[in-house]
């Protein structure tokens, strides 16, 4: 397994497992470093995309988004730059998931957030946002949002 980061993390009495290979982690991190110089402008674009996709989410936020943009950019920076050390992000990601549940975020909102993130990256990276890179970001976001949802709402129920 030398080329894979296996995230096998204990959440309560359950285990959540996701896998990102080293190449996918590297792609996500390198692409983020290309948009990171834009700073909170990335978060501004993200929230514009989010509220365009689902205007009903806007009332969940304060009218002045300045601090919110700074916080989301800092959180995204920390998580992306730490993907190669999943043990370093477990507790912060779990705490983030629990906080979001307290803000009224529902499990179905995570898909909208993911789509807003992908749209933001497409705008920031243009032609460099290849299908392979998009897949790596989907994998990263899916793993992290899955951990957040599990910490906030418990393990997902499977339908037989």
CATH number assigned to the domain comprising residue 40? 1.10.490.10
Segment 14-30, tens digit of pLDDT: 334 456 788 999 999 99
> Is 159 inside a domain boundary?
no
Domain count for the chain: 1
> Is 158 inside a domain boundary?
no
Q: Determine the length of the chain.
A: 160
> Is 34 inside a domain boundary?
yes
Higher pLDDT, 90 or 64: 64
Please tell me the pTM assigned to this model. 0.84
Segment 90-146, tens digit of pLDDT: 899 999 999 999 999 999 999 999 999 999 999 999 999 999 999 999 999 998 999
Question: Does 158 score more than 60 pLDDT?
Answer: no
> Is 120 inside a domain boundary?
yes
> Is 57 inside a domain boundary?
yes
Where in the sequence is the domain holding 85, given as residue range(s)? 4-153
pLDDT bracket for residue 157 (50, 70, 90): low
The three-state secondary structure class of 1 is coil
Residue 6 phi/psi, 5-degree rounding, is: -100, 120
Measuring CA to CA, which residue among 16, 112, 12 is closest to residue 57? 112
Higher pLDDT, 7 or 43: 43
> Is 101 inside a domain boundary?
yes
Q: Please, are residues 98 and 149 in contact by the beta-carbon 8 Å criterion?
A: no
């Amino acid at each position: 397994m030398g080329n894979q980061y296996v995230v096998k993390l204990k959440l309560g009495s359950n285990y959540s497992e996701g896998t990102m290979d080293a190449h996918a982690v590297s792609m996500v991190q390198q692409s983020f470093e290309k948009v990171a110089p834009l700073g909170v402008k990335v978060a501004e674009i993200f929230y514009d995309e989010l509220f365009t996709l689902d205007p009903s989410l806007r009332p969940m936020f304060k009218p002045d988004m300045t601090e919110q943009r700074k916080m989301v950019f800092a959180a995204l920076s920390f998580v992306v730059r730490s993907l190669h050390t999943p043990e370093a992000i477990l507790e912060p990601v779990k705490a983030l998931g629990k906080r979001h549940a307290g803000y009224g975020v529902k499990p179905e909102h995570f898909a909208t957030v993911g789509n807003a993130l992908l749209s933001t990256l497409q705008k920031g990276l243009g032609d460099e946002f290849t299908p392979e890179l998009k897949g790596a970001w989907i994998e990263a976001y899916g793993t992290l949002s899955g951990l957040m949802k599990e910490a906030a709402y418990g393990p997902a129920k499977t339908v037989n």
